[in-house]
Chains A and B, each alone.
Chain A
Amino acid sequence: MSTALKPPPPAPESRAPRPRRRSKAKDSSGTVLAPTTMTRIGLIGVALLSVFPLYWMIVVASRDSSAASQFPPALLPGGNLGENVMEALNEPQAHLITGLQNSLIITGTVTVSVILISTLAGFAFAKLKFRGSKVLMVIVLATMMVPLQHLGLVPLYIMMIELGWTNTLHAAILPFLVNGFGIFMMRQYTLQSVPDELIEAARIDGASTLRIWWRIVLPALRPGMVVLGLLTFMLNWNEFLWPFMVLSTDNPTIQLAIRQISTGLYTTDISMVFTGTLISIIPIAILFAIFGRQIVSGIMEGSTKQ
Chain B
Amino acid sequence: MTTAVATRSTDRKTFRDRLHNFDLKGTPYLLVAPFFLLFLVFGLFPMGYTLYTSLHQWNTRSPERTFIGLENYSFLLFEFDRFGWSIVNTFGIFVIATVPQLVCGLMVASALNKRLKAQLFWRMAILTPIVTSVVAVGVVFTRIWGQQYGMVNGLIEVLGFEAVNWQGDRLTSWVAIASMVDWRWMGYNALIYLAAMQTIPRQLYEAASIDGASPRQQFWKITVPQIKPVIVFTVFMSSVGGMMLFAEPMMFGGGRLGGGSEGQFQTTSLILIDLLRTHGNYGMSAAAGWILFLVIGLVASMNYFIVNRIQGDK
Question: Interface digits, A259-282 against B, CB 8 Å rule (1 contact, 0 not)?
Answer: 100111000001001100100110
One digit per residue, 1 when the CB lies within 8 angstroms of any chain A CB and 0 when it does not, for chain B 15-50 equals: 000000001110111011011101101110111011
- Residues of chain B lying within 8 A (CB to CB) of residue A123: 31
Q: Is the CB of A130 within 8 A of B129?
A: no
Contacts of A213 in B (CB 8 A): 31
Q: Which of B47, B143, B146 contacts A152 (CB 8 A)?
A: B47
Interface presence of A174 (CB below 8 A): yes
The reply to whether A30 and B200 form a contact with Cβ atoms under 8 Å apart is yes
> Which A residues lie within 8 Å of B29 (CB)?
130
Any chain A CB within 8 A of the CB of B117? Answer: yes
Q: Find out whether the CB atom of B285 lies under 8 angstroms from the CB atom of A154.
A: yes
Q: A8-B233, A39-B114, A304-B195 are in contact. Are A30 and B202 (CB under 8 A)?
A: yes
Tally of contact residues, B, Cβ under 8 A: 125
Cβ B201 vs Cβ A121 within 8 A: no
From residue A248, how far is it (CB to closest CB) to chain B in Å?
Answer: 12
B144 at interface (Cβ–Cβ under 8 A)? yes
**Which one of B29, B135, B209 has the highest number of Cβ atoms from chain A below 10 Å of its Cβ?**
B135
CA distance A281 to B205 in the complex (A): 42
Query: Could you say which residues of chain A place their CB within 8 Å of the CB of B292?
Result: 151
Which listed residue, A128, A150, A159, touches B28 by the CB 8 Å rule?
Answer: A128
What residues on A are CB-neighbors of B185 within 8 Å? Answer: 4
Number of A residues near B (Cβ < 8 Å) is: 120
Flag whether A172 is at the interface (Cβ < 8 A): no
Given known contacts A178-B35, A273-B139, A277-B139, A35 and B50 CB-to-CB distance under 8 angstroms:
no
Residue contacts A-B, CB under 8 angstroms, 24 given:
A6-B237, A25-B119, A30-B197, A43-B116, A46-B104, A46-B187, A50-B183, A53-B140, A53-B141, A56-B140, A73-B151, A116-B34, A124-B28, A124-B31, A130-B25, A146-B240, A154-B286, A177-B42, A209-B24, A209-B27, A245-B273, A255-B133, A274-B140, A303-B195
Q: A1-B242, A209-B31 are in contact. List 12 more A-B contacts (CB 8 A).
A: A3-B237, A29-B115, A31-B205, A43-B116, A43-B122, A46-B108, A130-B25, A151-B289, A151-B293, A213-B31, A240-B135, A288-B131
B contacts, CB < 8 Å to A: 1-2, 5, 23-25, 27-29, 31-32, 34-36, 38-39, 41-43, 45-47, 49-50, 53, 104, 107-108, 111-117, 119-120, 122-141, 143-144, 146, 148-149, 151, 154-155, 157-158, 181, 183, 185-188, 191-192, 194-202, 205-206, 209, 215, 218, 226, 229-230, 233-234, 237-238, 240-242, 244-247, 251, 254-256, 269, 272-273, 276-277, 282, 285-286, 289, 292-293, 296-297, 300, 303, 307, 311, 314
